[in-house]
Structure 1
């Protein structure tokens, strides 16, 4: 092998090493961008999970309030007692004595407040 061929081979290897170095730099830049994106997405994911957890807690608190507000209260008990004692509780004949028969208006009112 002549000196010229050896020099050409070394020159070609140097060019290839330069190209590989460029490719390595590009890969390093892409890896850096990917790591930044990963970190940003992890932070966003953490933030969204926190918001979801907070919204879930708020929803559960509202559920408890709604469930307790559907329970008939003392007023309902008083009206039911008055009806059982023989008085109308409907808006048509409120407070007047019933004639030993059920009043559809009163019963509808009692059923409406149970729901």
Structure 2
């Protein structure tokens, strides 16, 4: 086996590894999106269960400020930076500053 064919094989392997790395990154993002959606749906399900046990109807009219506070307390961002995404790392300064403005 000559050096040229070894170099070509290594280059091809390196290219395939790069493609697999990109595919792995895509799969990782999809998994993260599914986990966030699952957590959101679990929280929403729990909220509906609590409201049904308390005798409340889930579609009570609320003000926009109350809705934003409720969304934030359920663990989601209400700031313009990450609106609607799950808060995984505690409090968000952008959200808190938005809440104080209202």
Match of residue 19 from structure 2: 19
Match of residue 48 from structure 1: 48
Match of residue 32 from structure 2: 32
Match of residue 113 from structure 1: none
The number of equivalent residue pairs is 56
- Unaligned 5+ segments in structure 1 are 57-115
TM-score, length-normalised on structure 2?
0.53
For 1:2 and 1:52, the matched residues in 2 are separated by: 75
Q: For the aligned residues, what is the CA RMSD?
A: 1.2
- Unaligned 5+ segments in structure 2 are 57-102
For 2:37 and 2:23, the matched residues in 1 are separated by: 21
TM-score, length-normalised on structure 1?
0.47
For 1:52 and 1:20, the matched residues in 2 are separated by: 47
Higher helix share: 1
**Which of the pair has more CA radius of gyration?**
1
Moved beyond 3 Å, runs of 4+: none
